[in-house]
Every structure is written in C-alpha cells, then in structure tokens.
C-alpha cells in the first residue's frame, strides 16, 4: 500500500513538473505535433507526377512523334519542350526548367522498320534519385508500348489476325500491386519509422532536460526519503516513468493515428498490437533517459548531447540506409537504443498487420531492455541521492 501511495505521489509530482517547465512542454508536446506534421506534409506527394522533360527529336518521323506522345501520356512525365538540338536541351536543363532529356536519334524509324536495334537516349538528373528513377521508369513504359505495337503490326502484315499477333509477340499484361504500400510511395514506408523515432528522441531529450534541471537546482537531495523506504527508489523511478509514458501515449495516438489518417498514410495493423509494442518501448526509453539524465550537470549539456545524437539515430535505424549495409560494430553500439528493435517491429505491425508473435524476437529484446534500464535507473538515482 505504501508503495502504491509513493507511486501515486511521484506520478502526479512529475506530471506537474512537466507542465510547469517551458522546455519540457516544448519537447513533450509541441515538437511531437510539429515534427510529424512537417514530415507528413513534405511526403504528401509520395509519387512524382508530371515531371517536366524535353525531347530532342533528331528523326522527326511518325514513330519518333509516337514515342514522344507515349512519353507525354505517362502519369510520370509532361513533355513540355520539343527541340531538335541537344544544345537547346542542355540550356533548358541547366536553367532548371526540365529534369530529364530524351534523345531520339536520326534513323530511329528506319532502324525499327528494318528490324535493327534502335536506341533511345535518356539524360536524367542524377543529383535527385526520384527524378532519375521516375524518368527512367516512364521511358521503359513508353519504349515497351511502342515495341509491342510495332511487333504486332509486323506480324499482322504477314497475315496474322490481331489476337494471334498479340500472342505471338509475347506481350505480357503486367499488373502491379504494391502490397502493404498501395501508393508505392516513400512516405508510407518512412513516416511510421520517423514518428516512432521522434517519440524516442524527444522523450530522451526532455528527460535529459529535466534531469539537468535537477542537477542545477540540486533537488536530488529531496529524494533522500525514498531511499530510506523499502522499494522507495523503485517507486520513484516507476512513478516518473509512468508520467512520461502517459504523456507519450497521447502523442503516439495523435501522431500515428490522427495525423497519419489526416495525410492518408496506410495503417493496416491492429491498434491493440501497436499499443502492446509501444507501452514497453516507451517504458524502456523512459528508464534509459532517466539513467542518462543523471550524467548531465546542466540543461544545456543534455540538449547538446541528445540533439547531436538524433541525426545519427535517423541513419542507424535503417530508414535512410539499409541495416545490412551498416557496419556490425556500429549496429552493436546503437543497439542500446530501443528504437533499433522497436521500429522494424512496429513497421511490420502497422503496415503488414503482423501479430506480436511475428515480432516476438524484437518484442522480447525490448522487454529485456526495459528491465535492464529500470535497474540502471534505480542505481543511477540511488547514486545521485547519496552524492547529494
């Protein structure tokens, strides 16, 4: 009973501390709303459409005009410029008016009709991967359509009917279904991971900020009474963590449900499974943050260290670069952070509707981290109380 009373007192006291500290409010509430909205807005247009391009038609024949039409008819491209000189196309490209140049060489139609291999040149904007990928994809579609049409006409000229010619040309009706990511967009994959990482990083920074404030004001000495009680330190650590987790469960629902649905990102997973993963994740992060917070003597130190760590974490969780390509020793070092295991599990639950049993390895590791970091936090707080 005394343990529960202590837990309740600490829980409400920590909530009061959060709501009366301007820096904590900024991190715990404002940042967790602003960042998801900004990122979601940036990734709203997940698939590039109507990319402005130029066609250099050196052949100026029926087939060259037809391939130009096919390029323009794709959803990805808009043929805004048609010129006869590569120098003009280069000028348009250098001025930023177009993102790709398609070169139709002289004798393009002649080579096709004589069944020689015809070449289509593409000069893409390699500095921007999505531009280049989109321009290349559209060229494959347009070129494939023209090749099929020419082949069918050639077979029909030999006396075949249309259906027989179509079958003989080995044309495949390709239908693409993007499982778990209907739009095939980068944002649909990226946003759950980014928001889950934002929850960790803002929570770590906020707890570090509050811990630095405690060191500045020397308030650890007021926890002496808890050290003299049986289970007092445990109640102190759990009570504080419960306050953080409560606040961040609200952030979790707002970010990954309200904002997610507002911007139309997919959400196939069960809320129960997502919550079952998120609660121990937030507790593990809270205990880790409390352990780290005892190392900072001022608020500024916590901000400098943890803000510096955030861009590195974005890279290490496998969002911007595949985990398989990251050196093993770096993965081992950063495995101390719960996000390394929680984010892959969360993506599978949210986008693929995986059950907890399907992410059992990651889930067990997070539970182990939660227990270990709880023990470390208790030791760190006990040490700081004695030190003060």
CATH (domain of 101): 3.40.1710.10
Q: Rounded mean pLDDT of the chain? A: 83
What pLDDT, on the 0 to 100 scale, is given for residue 280? Answer: 97
The answer on 335 and 192 residing in a single domain is yes
The answer on 78 and 218 residing in a single domain is no
In the chain, % of residues over pLDDT 70:
87
Q: Which three-class secondary structure state does DSSP give residue 311? A: helix
What pLDDT, on the 0 to 100 scale, is given for residue 45? Answer: 67
The answer on 304 and 158 residing in a single domain is no
> Residues 271-283: pLDDT tens digits?
999 999 999 999 9
Domain boundary among 138, 168, 198: 168
SS (H, E, C) 17-39: HHHCCHHHHHHHHHHHHHHHHHH
Q: Is residue 350 part of a domain?
A: yes
Q: Is residue 326 part of a domain?
A: yes
Pairing mode of beta strands 77-83, 121-124 = unpaired
- Supply the range of the domain harboring residue 330: 2-44+183-387
More confident call, 157 vs 277: 277
Answer whether 377's CB lies under 8 Å from 291's CB: yes
Please state the domain count of the chain.
2
The answer on 200 and 79 residing in a single domain is no
Q: Which three-class secondary structure state does DSSP give residue 209? A: helix
Looking at the predicted structure, is the pLDDT value of residue 23 above 80? Answer: yes
The answer on 96 and 200 residing in a single domain is no
Q: Is residue 32 part of a domain?
A: yes
Q: Is residue 177 part of a domain?
A: no
pLDDT band at 161 (very low <50, low <70, confident <90, very high): low
Residue 276, phi-psi category: left (phi > 0), alpha (psi -120 to 50), beta (remainder): alpha
The answer on 270 and 359 residing in a single domain is yes
Which of 78-82, 263-267, 364-368 shows the highest mean pLDDT?
364-368
pLDDT band at 147 (very low <50, low <70, confident <90, very high): confident
> Residues 111-121: pLDDT tens digits?
877 777 777 88
> Residues 1-15: pLDDT tens digits?
677 888 888 899 899
C-alpha span between 116 and 232 (Å, rounded):
85
Q: For the residues 369-379, what does the mean pLDDT come to?
A: 95
Q: Is residue 173 part of a domain?
A: no
Domain boundary among 108, 139, 168: 168
What pLDDT, on the 0 to 100 scale, is given for residue 167? Answer: 61
The answer on 163 and 248 residing in a single domain is no
- At residue 95, φ and ψ (nearest 5 deg) are -85, 0
Residue 264, phi-psi category: left (phi > 0), alpha (psi -120 to 50), beta (remainder): left
What pLDDT, on the 0 to 100 scale, is given for residue 231? Answer: 65
Q: Quick count: other Cβ atoms within 10 Å of Cβ 53?
A: 31
Q: Is residue 159 part of a domain?
A: yes
More confident call, 331 vs 150: 331
pLDDT band at 295 (very low <50, low <70, confident <90, very high): confident
Domain boundary among 133, 168, 203: 168
What's the Rg (C-alpha) of the chain?
Answer: 29
pLDDT band at 207 (very low <50, low <70, confident <90, very high): very high
Looking at the predicted structure, is the pLDDT value of residue 122 above 90? Answer: no
Q: Is residue 178 part of a domain?
A: no
Question: What's the whole-model pTM score?
Answer: 0.76
Looking at the predicted structure, is the pLDDT value of residue 172 above 60? Answer: no
Looking at the predicted structure, is the pLDDT value of residue 175 above 60? Answer: no
What pLDDT, on the 0 to 100 scale, is given for residue 144? Answer: 77
The C-alpha torsion from 205 through 211 and 216 to 217, rounded to 10°, is: 130
DSSP state of 258: I
What pLDDT, on the 0 to 100 scale, is given for residue 60? Answer: 86
Looking at the predicted structure, is the pLDDT value of residue 109 above 60? Answer: yes
The answer on 206 and 275 residing in a single domain is yes
Answer whether 245's CB lies under 8 Å from 283's CB: yes
What pLDDT, on the 0 to 100 scale, is given for residue 257? Answer: 82
The answer on 163 and 260 residing in a single domain is no
The answer on 192 and 280 residing in a single domain is yes
The answer on 155 and 206 residing in a single domain is no
Helices (H), the chain: 2-19, 22-25, 31-42, 62-73, 86-94, 108-113, 129-156, 162-168, 186-217, 224-227, 232-253, 260-262, 271-293, 299-316, 328-334, 339-352, 360-387
The answer on 204 and 65 residing in a single domain is no
């Amino acid at each position: 009973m005394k343990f529960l009373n202590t837990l309740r007192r600490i829980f409400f006291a920590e909530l009061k501390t959060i709501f009366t500290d301007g820096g904590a409010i900024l991190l715990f509430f404002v940042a967790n709303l602003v960042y998801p909205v900004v990122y979601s807005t940036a990734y709203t247009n997940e698939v590039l459409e109507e990319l402005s391009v130029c066609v250099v038609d050196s052949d100026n024949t029926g087939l060259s005009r037809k391939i130009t039409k096919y390029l323009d008819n794709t959803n990805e491209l808009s043929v805004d410029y048609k010129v006869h000189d590569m120098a003009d196309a280069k000028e348009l490209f250098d001025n930023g008016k177009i993102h790709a140049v398609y070169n139709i060489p002289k004798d393009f139609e002649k080579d096709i009709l004589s069944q020689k291999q015809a070449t289509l040149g593409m000069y893409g904007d390699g500095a921007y991967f999505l531009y280049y990928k989109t321009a290349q994809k559209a060229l494959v579609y347009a070129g494939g359509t023209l090749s099929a049409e020419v082949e069918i006409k050639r077979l029909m000229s030999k006396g075949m009917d249309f259906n027989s010619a179509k079958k003989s040309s080995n044309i495949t009706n390709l239908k693409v279904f993007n499982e778990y990511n209907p739009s095939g967009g980068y944002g649909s994959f990226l946003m759950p991971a980014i928001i889950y990482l934002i929850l960790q990083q803002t929570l770590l920074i906020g707890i570090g900020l509050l811990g630095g404030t405690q060191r500045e004001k020397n308030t650890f000495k007021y926890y002496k009474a808890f050290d003299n009680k049986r289970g007092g330190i445990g109640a102190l650590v759990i009570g504080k963590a419960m306050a953080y987790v409560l606040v961040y469960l609200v952030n979790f629902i707002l970010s990954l449900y309200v904002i997610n649905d507002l911007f139309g990102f997919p959400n196939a997973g069960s809320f129960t499974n997502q919550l079952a993963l998120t609660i121990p994740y937030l507790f593990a992060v809270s205990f880790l943050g409390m352990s780290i917070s005892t190392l900072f003597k001022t608020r500024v130190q916590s901000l400098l260290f943890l803000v510096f760590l955030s861009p590195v974490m974005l890279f290490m969780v496998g969002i911007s670069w595949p985990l398989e390509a990251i050196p093993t020793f770096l993965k081992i070092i950063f495995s101390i952070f719960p996000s390394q295991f929680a984010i892959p599990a969360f993506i599978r639950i949210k986008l693929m509707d995986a059950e907890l049993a399907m992410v059992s390895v990651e889930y067990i590791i997070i539970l182990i981290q939660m227990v270990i970091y709880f023990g470390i936090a208790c030791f760190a707080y006990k040490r700081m109380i004695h030190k003060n």
